Chain A
Amino acid sequence: MRRATEPAASGPARGADAAADAPAVPVPVPGARTGASAGPGAGPAKRSRGGSPGRPSRPGGTGASAGRARRGSGGWTPWLYLAPALVVLAGLLVYPIYQLGLISFLEYTQAQVSGGEPTTFQGLGNYAALFGDGEFWRVLLATVLFAAACVVSTLAVGCALAVLLTRVRAVPRLALVLAALGAWATPAITGSTVWLFLFDPDFGPVNRVLGLGDHSWTYGRFSAFALVLLEVVWCSFPFVMVTVYAGIRAVPSEVLEAAALDGASQWRVWRSVLAPMLRPILVVVTLQSVIWDFKIFTQIYVMTNGGGIAQQNLVLNVYAYQKAFASSEYSLGSAIGVVMLLILLAVTLVYLRLLRRQGEEL
């Protein structure tokens, strides 16, 4: 992780000092520019420049931590610094999670909320009801497939464009990067309304251009999902593109030169040099995408108007919301929330394992 992503920081800084730096240090000396050179403005970008090209093999990271360990624990000071964060997280994250679990075991509907009836413990009753409901499985399947489609498309588009970025000169690159930044910055809700308008059966330009007449994209189940998918890919590929591009740029040019001198073909360079070096970055962007796309709420809610015709476009998040806030079945909504939490927890564990395997030093 460290080695390949660290340069991600150095990507942008490179433009500034690459010209001055590269010829002077054909074989960079590890640590030649570390430490003291990390001035106020340059921050992490500068620092990692020094470190990364020097260590193409495995990230060390021991040097820095040894220094820190020497300076001891500081007694209660770290806990004092951590206190506000821990208080906020305990109150607004941990406690709600506990509550979520608790409510999912109770009978909790409008009657209990208003105090009309006492809350009763249901054991696994809510889960039994949920798992016995065919709609839940249908929604779960749709969520998984939809998230998978989003992740695959986002990664494919993001990586392809990242490679494209390395092949073009400054002006087209700037154009593409600026456009991508715009898409990245667009709030989910405005992105949803704009895409809906683009594909509007009456006034949208897309149907005109494609000659589809007044075909409604949100009417069919698959075309509605496809429309949301387009919007999701549009607003989330920039993260992948920018990160992977920074990763490619940060591969030390000496490595590529060596490969070229040894007579490696372009394809061979990709397969045997770049791909392994980019693997850590790809792991991160993949898992981030999985986590984001599994939790999509706003796009589905706005674009399919709360889950689509006859609930055909529900995903777990929207399903939980509808159960809880539209039909006041708070306990069922919470049970769905717990299921989501467990699925994402599993993803997180995979993530942590992969980080560990890459020799991450926390």
Chain B
Amino acid sequence: MSRLSIITENKAQTTVEELYKDLERRISASPPGLCPVDLASSFLKMCHAQSCGKCVPCRVGLGQLEKLMEDVLDGNGTLETIDLIESTASSIFYSADCAIGYEAALMVLKGIKGFRNDFEEHVLRGRCICELNQPVPCVSQCPAGVDIPGYVALVAEGNYADAVRLIRKDNPLPSVCGLICEHPCEVRCRRTLMDDPINIRGLKRFAVEHAGEVPVPEPAEATGKKVAVIGGGPGGISAAYYLRLMGHDVTIYEQRKQLGGMLRYGIPSYRLPRETLDQEIEQLLSTGIHVKTGVTVGESPNILELRSQYDAVYIAIGAHTDRKIGIEGEDAEGVISAVELLRGIGDSQLPDFTGKDIIVIGGGNVAMDVARSAIRLGAKRLRIAYRRRREDMTAMPEEVEGAIAEGCELVELHAPLRIEEDAEGKVAALWVKPQIIGPVVNGRPKPMDSGQPEVRLACDMVLVAIGQGIESKNFEKYGIPVKRGVIDALNWSGVKDISGVFAGGDCVTGPATVIRAIAAGKVAAANIDEFLGYHHVISTDVQIPKVRMDTRKSCARVNMKERSVCERVKDFQLIECGMTEEEAMQESRRCLRCDRFGFGSFKGGRVEQW
């Protein structure tokens, strides 16, 4: 007998480790709309399997909870069963010895609070409130409902032009989205159950870049109805494009010199090249959309005047005002808001930051955009000061990673205190207070004063990127309802009690994503058409390819590559490299075609028109 021995993993343990990963992926690919009681009950069973069995609440209690939840699910429960679940779960929460028990009980308690009505529905009617109404996970996750399995299949067949046509049915900006969409479609991709989600955005980019010139459809017969769209961002353009295809006479009012909104004045060209943006906008305008740039809808013209001149108005003004940080010294020379900087860059006014020591305040995508732009503008040193930890940043992880790769330093867990000015009123330093990460509140950890002394970060400039606001005052003044700073529109884009006025996108939701703006434009177009007394249909004659049978072999995901750091930081050219044809073929053929398998084969995997 040896006193100690080296622990080696046996086959069972290695397999279980693999199963844990399978389960993680499975949960992340969980389809939307499942019965929450059933899910909670299954989770509970798994929690129970994790019990070491020492203590009663966990070993016995979780099992009894399982049984009670099954009673609810099988219609054998009563309202008292729900109360018993609650009191038993509370008891387990209070008395379990370790987190395996009390956190499992907490999940049940959260469920009782979060979807008690569903528990009650099961008990009282023997049914579940939830229904699975979108069988294809990527489509259901895409705010615009783009026919993703359709265009991925077209890419797999090399039919790129049809892929673009199919995308445009629901999203008129495939070039833009191929580069900068946040791709919520990939989050619940069923392929994740096997290995990794499909690189949907990468395939979209590939389709667009290999389709050649794809003409836009002919608009329908002119209706003689006039629609004004306020704001030439992605939402406004989308609404204008679909309304124009429906035969209406559309005019876009744009405050700035050029169309594009945040696509131009917010997103740096290294992520979205101006030529790509211009080309895509040009093509959409070629349907015959009128554009008035340099016109601010406010006093003159005001919204009511526009309403009287047009049959309908769509407000899509986005969220373009900078938010003040509210600390001492924020008016010093050298303090610039991110919005202001990016707006200038959008109109090709590139400031020279050569030799500057710059600090960016913020942790969102805009903070990363200004930081990386500043690097390209010659900054000598760039630091990003953030109150929380890196993993708490709201910026996409790849953006943070990119910024760091390009030389940005993260100053995590430091809250801005004040900006120190020199004798000439110029920025001399940013004072920050060290933080300690604290409790998780509503899913986000809260930073707290660490008790450490203040820190002085000497610098030449401070770029403030702490979010944007909406210029809603000019609309509020003329009777458009505004709630907490955003325009108060209904879920069908209409504005309550003001007939013919519609609103959507960032100005309604607060700063969000391009695909949500596009989706809002699509919804607005449909409902404005309806309001104008029509029922135009947007559809396409693109034929969806048949299913290939070679999709189910294990194959990992093709990720996007980027230009080398030392090369890309010197210019504002596109960072990301497109897929090769081989990659696109491999990637597109990984798609499991949920439109034709599973629930899709029963309920139909697509919405062919809207």
Is B one of A's binding partners?
no
